[in-house]
Chains A and B, each alone.
Chain A
Amino acid sequence: ETGVTQTPRHLVMGMTNKKSLKCEQHLGHNAMYWYKQSAKKPLELMFVYSLEERVENNSVPSRFSPECPNSSHLFLHLHTLQPEDSALYLCASSQGRITDTQYFGPGTRLTVL
């Protein structure tokens, strides 16, 4: 399998649930990213892992918790989400620097009830 894959593609969860989003890249890249895309809003960069070092957007609530066990895998752990967290969550990877071309996964459409 090639490129950037994300699972699940769709997720519906209640506010008390705990779930995780998974991203895997098969490009040999060293940096991975989580983005949030809400309706009619700009893409929001949530987290960056570059060579397994994490860079956070300070505006992201603590109910979102990223994990990067190695350079090919990235998780986004979700707990006690709010309905306003419903959005498309996109994973991307790049060679190493944030300025390198980023390759995106298909996204996970999340609905919080």
Chain B
Amino acid sequence: KNEVEQSPQNLTAQEGEFITINCSYSVGISALHWLQQHPGGGIVSLFMLSSGKKKHGRLIATINIQEKHSSLHITASHPRDSAVYICAVNKTGNQFYFGTGTSLTVIP
């Protein structure tokens, strides 16, 4: 069983829709990361969270440490948001676990 589980695995949305991607983890962590990977492989780090909520443009990330759960929200989705979104957690020490990713397609 993977230490990090993401849902859904695949998501198709209409342009303008509000999107939520969920991440649950089973280990104690010092930080959680949301990453975005575009076709071709390039990865961008979107957020690093250890508590609460962060917002950047149309992206919002939240984390509930007690429930071991994080969500990534995209408001007013756009076709350029189409990508794979990956949740990753740092366990204390140098251990780092990744989810399998959520493949998002936003249709015009």
Contacts and interface: CB of A to CB of B under 8 A. Distances in A.
A89 to B, nearest CB: 9
Q: How large is the interface on B (under 10, 10 to 19, 20 to 34, 35 or more residues)?
A: 20 to 34
Interface residues of A, number: 24
A13 interface: no
Given A42-B2, A42-B4, A102-B33, A107 B41 contact: yes
Interface in A85-104: 88, 90, 92, 98-104
Contact of B41 (A42, A92, A109): A109
Interface stretch (B14-22, B57-65, B75-83, B94-102): B94-102
B94 A55 contact: yes
A43 interface: yes
Contacts of A99: 30-31, 48, 50, 90
User: Helix, strand, loop or mixed for chain B's interface?
Assistant: strand
A98 B96 contact: yes
**Residue from B35, B50, B98 with most neighbouring chain A CB atoms (10 Å):** B98
A43 B31 CA distance: 17
A102 B98 contact: no
B96 A103 contact: no
B48 A100 contact: yes
Contacts of A105: 42
19 contacts: A37-B41, A40-B100, A42-B4, A42-B98, A42-B99, A42-B100, A44-B98, A45-B98, A55-B94, A99-B48, A99-B50, A101-B33, A102-B45, A103-B45, A104-B35, A104-B43, A104-B44, A106-B40, A107-B42
7 nearest A-B pairs in the assembled complex, by CB-CB distance: A104-B43, A107-B41, A43-B98, A42-B98, A99-B31, A45-B96, A55-B94
Interface of A: 37, 40-45, 48, 50, 55, 88, 90, 92, 98-107, 109
